[in-house]
Amino acid sequence: MTGTAVTPPATVIDWAAAVRAGQRFAPTGPSVTPDEARQVVADLREFSVRAERIVREVTLLGTGLPIGEALVVDRRHWVEATAEGMAILAEPLAARLSEKLTEKLAEKAGDTGKPAKPGKQRGSGAAGTQLGAVLGFLSGRVLGQYDPLAGVEADGTPGRLLLVAPNIVKVERELGADPEDFRMWVCLHESTHRLQFTAVPWLREYFRGLAAEFAETSDVDAGEMLRRASRALGSGGSWIERIQTPEQRVVFDRMMALMTLLEGHADHVMDAVGPSVVPSVASIREGFSERRRKGRGPVDRLIRAMLGMDMKLAQYIKGAAFVSTVVEEVGMARFNLVWSSPETLPTREETTDPAAWIRRVLG
């Protein structure tokens, strides 16, 4: 193969195609008047700041840090912002896939004796379109999210808080919830996520490092991935885990433990503030939990299962139980030792055994 020219692929995912497809698949609605639209945007910006102050009081984290308003977006802008964050997070895996493809092109060039060049990025465009379809689906369901890698916080560090106004309005109407209460309730959850990353300096890079390590242990052989996926279909348990390599599952367990802690911590805070902040918190929690549990029709439930969204629901439940149990046992100040270092985070097993974490970390 000496002297054979190989042109490496520019990218394995066409992120511009993903955004275009996601925006095309994003659902429309709900119907609001201009005054209603202005009000929900104003509420969410104001409540996001107020919510973080309350979250700091409950969690004892973040004293003295600057607080910025959330970025209130519609579904199309959520797709664009989320694709940006995903591109950053997926960069290590994309690099491995590009490297693998370049190797295959080199092998092909060696066999034919001719310079090997990739096609017109059809694969990356198709991958982008498929990813965009997923983003379009999610754009009608996500109420808000904190992206620790994209955007810029008030102090200049990476990160931004997104609140998806049309979805919040849609769900509050479906639940028959008081709009101000529901908007504050959502802001409490998402502001907790922002505080987790801004108040714990090492957490952002740890999160990014897990993604990089997961990519490093990924099997980028398409044939083997398809064989594992085929074996996973129809088997019990999580298909997402069954298609992973053994090395990946070790990293995945750490990722799941972290996400379970983060989601559970946010859920705990939402309930801990009580009716003094959100008067109808009990009815909102009951209605929202029922909505999470039921999902929608069979197609919706299938897509949710394929995307691992049922796994995310389990994270809320297990994580909230872990946090509540530890806080009740030792108090919030000692619970906060969980944020000391990666070594003090709970393992995946400990998220369902709080006593084990207390023994290991608190002694």
Q: What is the pLDDT of residues 159-189, one digit of tens each?
A: 999 999 999 999 999 999 999 999 999 999 9
Pick from 63-77, 100-114, 219-233, 325-339: least confident: 219-233
Residue 267 tokens, joined: 């859920």
3-class secondary-structure state, position 45? helix
State the pLDDT confidence band at 4, using cuts at 50, 70 and 90: very low
What is the rounded distance in angstroms from the CA atom of residue 348 to the CA atom of residue 249?
A: 11
The per-residue DSSP string of 181-246 comes to: HHHHHHHHHHHHHHHHHHHSTTHHHHHHHHHHHHHHT----HHHHHHHHHHHTT-SS-HHHHTS-H
- The pLDDT of residue 249: 84
Q: What is the pLDDT of residue 310?
A: 55
Region of 27 (left: φ > 0; alpha: ψ -120 to 50; beta: rest) is beta
Q: Are 139 and 79 in contact (CB under 8 A)?
A: yes
DSSP string for 138-175: HHTT--EEEEEEEEE-TTSSEEEEEEEHHHHHHHHHHH
Number of alpha carbons in the 13 Å side-chain half-sphere of residue 156: 0
pTM for the model stands at: 0.81
Pair 283, 177: CB distance under 8 Å: yes
What type of residue sits at position 246? P
* Residue 125 vs residue 117, higher pLDDT: 125
Instruction: Report the percentage of the chain scoring pLDDT > 90.
Output: 52
Whole-angstrom distance, CA of residue 335 vs CA of residue 327? 6
- Which whole number is the average pLDDT over 237-253? 71
Burial (CB count within 10 angstroms: exposed 0-12, middle 13-18, buried 19+), residue 147: buried
Query: Which of 127, 108, 110, 128 lies closest to 118 in space, CA to CA?
Result: 108
Q: In what order do the strands lie in the sheet with 158-164?
A: 71-73, 158-164, 144-152
In this prediction, residues 331-355 reach a mean pLDDT of 96
pLDDT of residue 2: 39
Cβ atoms of 125 and 17 closer than 8 Å: yes
| CA–CA dist 271, 273 (Å, integer) | 6
- 334 vs 126, which has greater pLDDT? 334
Q: For CA atoms 136, 137, 141, 144, give the dihedral sign.
A: negative
Q: Tally the C-alpha atoms within 13 A of residue 301's C-alpha that lie toward its C-beta.
A: 8
Q: State yes or no: pLDDT of 1 exceeds 50.
A: no
Give percent above pLDDT 70 in the chain.
73
Across the chain, what does the average pLDDT equal? Answer: 82
Cα–Cα distance list, 238 to 226, 277, 311 (Å): 16, 38, 8
**314 — pLDDT class (breaks 50, 70, 90):** low
Q: Which of 34-38, 136-140, 253-257 has the highest mean pLDDT?
A: 34-38
In this structure, what are the phi and psi dihedrals at residue 259, rounded to the nearest 5 degrees? Answer: -65, -35
Work out the average pLDDT over 13-26: 91
